Amino acid sequence: MQKPHRIVVPLTANVPVFEAAVAFEVFGRPRQDFPVPWYEVTLCAMVGDGPVRTAEGLSFDGADLAELERADTVIVPACADLQGDPPPELLEALREAHARGARIASICTGAFTLAAAGLLDGRRATTHWMYAAELTRRWPAVQLDPNVLYTEDERIFTSAGECAGLDLCLHLVRLDHGSRVANTLARRMVIPPHREGGQAQYIDQPVPATESTSLAPVLDWARTQLHRPLTIDDLAVRAAMSKRSFLRHFRASTGTTPLQWLVHERVARARDLLETTNDTVDRVAERCGFGSAQSLRVHFTRINQTTPYRYRQAFDPAR
């Protein structure tokens, strides 16, 4: 039997409970009916400090930092103290985990912990937009992009706010097990199946809109029509809006344009077909609405940093 992928979540004092729970929601629940080995999740903290208390007053008992020595992936949740430094023992453990090849990810202001460990120096990273200026002030060597949901730089991943942490965790599942498993999990959690890391954060919106707004039926419909040459007019008519109102509402709700959204949805569909069918690249392009294999290759390579052929080989070298 294949050994489960081991995920370790190090906790620090006053960690926000939601960020601490994100990894457990995605990776920690048993998924016996999934066709792949699932994950094993472990909490850890500073030994000798007693239970870790969250910002909400809950207490967690966890293992000690030695667990990081056995982690395949380390997920660092948000930190409460953005002015001080994390425990030096934690920073050293993170550096050692990365040096031996573990995948390192942060949720929200967990990027401050990775930056303090020196793991983000010279790397592209993100954090919650409200705290981006502070992270840049403290660690100017970080190539911070405060306008995206999550980033990937080799084996270092960072995400923006809490919901972007969920997006990043689903992205890790997709990297490990493919789009079909990640999308099935997203449906179980009743969240959008995949939001690209480059999608904009919601900045200065009193009530940030999501796909759960009135646009959701239109987006769901569009996902079933990706093989067609959809236009903005088609989407606006489906939403019963004028073109101008639809464009404004779409940008406010998703942080991107309809055409950019369609390209990303078509590429996501192409990934799924490349993983789960023997369709030729030409047929995949046709089913995703790209019109030609060349158009698919251009957009697929731009978004995934690899070609459709190499992507398919990575998931099934025997093809």
The full set of domain ranges for the chain reads 5-180, 210-319
d(CA 77, CA 20): 6
303: nearest Cα among 263, 259, 253: 263
CB contact at 8 A, 73 and 7: yes
For the chain, 319 residues long, give each residue's pLDDT as a single digit of tens: 567 899 999 988 778 778 788 888 899 888 888 888 899 998 888 755 667 777 676 777 667 888 999 999 999 998 888 888 888 999 999 999 999 999 999 999 999 999 999 999 999 999 998 999 999 999 999 999 888 889 988 899 999 877 888 989 998 998 898 888 888 888 888 776 655 555 444 333 322 334 435 788 899 899 999 999 999 999 999 999 999 999 998 988 777 899 999 998 999 899 889 888 899 999 999 999 998 999 999 999 888 778 898 888 876 645 5
Tokens standing for 230?
């959809």
Q: How is residue 53 annotated by DSSP? A: E
d(CA 180, CA 174): 8
Q: What is the pLDDT of residue 196?
A: 56
Q: What is the pLDDT of residue 178?
A: 84
Tokens standing for 191?
């969240």
Q: What is the pLDDT of residue 47?
A: 56
Q: What is the pLDDT of residue 205?
A: 31
Q: What is the pLDDT of residue 105?
A: 97
Pick the CATH number of 5-180 from 3.40.449.10, 3.40.50.150, 3.40.50.880, 3.20.20.80: 3.40.50.880
Q: What is the pLDDT of residue 202?
A: 38
Q: What CATH number is given for 210-319 in this structure?
A: 1.10.10.60
Tokens standing for 215?
């646009």
Can you give 195-257 as a three-state secondary structure string? CCCCCCCCCCCCCCCCCCCCCHHHHHHHHCCCCCCCCHHHHHHHCCCCHHHHHHHHHHHHCCC
Q: What is the pLDDT of residue 57?
A: 66
CB contact at 8 A, 81 and 14: yes
Cα dihedral value 155, 146, 137, 102, nearest 10: -10
Q: What is the pLDDT of residue 200?
A: 44
Q: What is the pLDDT of residue 208?
A: 33
Q: What is the pLDDT of residue 313?
A: 80
CB contact at 8 A, 12 and 45: yes
Q: What is the pLDDT of residue 303?
A: 83
